[in-house]
Amino acid sequence: MKLLFFYAPSFWFKTFKKVLPQAPHQDMEATCEKAVVVFYQVEAEDVERRGKILTKFIKNIKWLAGKFTSKTIVLHSFNHLSTSKAPPEFAEAFVEEGRERLEKSGYRVTVTPFGYLNEWKLHVAGDSLAKVFKEL
């Protein structure tokens, strides 16, 4: 799994185009303030190590959110971080479980529509930790 984190004073997105035929129709637009924005890519090898990767995924998000005392998380599928790709059904279920676990821990989580291209505006803070790459 590859993760690209940003601490964003402001993040706006809007659905643009559906790219997975099986994705449900969604027309969504949202703005999130003071958020940890996570661009993620679930890789093929993550299927075999799902539990371990999910735990690390959650821990890394909580760690960075704690650095900025943020309880707002945005999860955005970004299949440009690796050439290895997990099946879409696996990736979508994986991130949904991550969302549920984060919400049970008191975080407000927005997941950009899976299977869609989105337009977005990302205002990233200047702090060094406002931009972090992780490979799990």
- Domain with 78 in it: what CATH number? 3.50.80.10
Q: How confident is the model at residue 2 (pLDDT cuts 50, 70, 90)?
A: very high
Query: What's the pTM value of the predicted model, to 2 decimals?
Result: 0.94
The one-character DSSP state at 85 is -
Residue 71: which residues within 8 A CB-CB, separation 6 or more? 65, 106, 107, 108
- Quick: pLDDT tens for 86-127: 999 999 999 999 999 999 999 999 999 999 999 999 999 999
Token pair 């799990």 is found at 136
Instruction: Tell me the residue range of the domain where 120 lies.
Output: 2-135
**What token pair was written down for 2?**
């590859």
Total domains present in the chain? 1
What tens digit of pLDDT does each residue of 24-55 get? 999 999 999 999 999 999 999 999 999 999 99
Give the residue from 41, 62, 40, 60 showing the smallest Cα distance to 52.
Answer: 60
Q: What is the dihedral of CA 57, 4, 46, 106, to 10 degrees?
A: 20
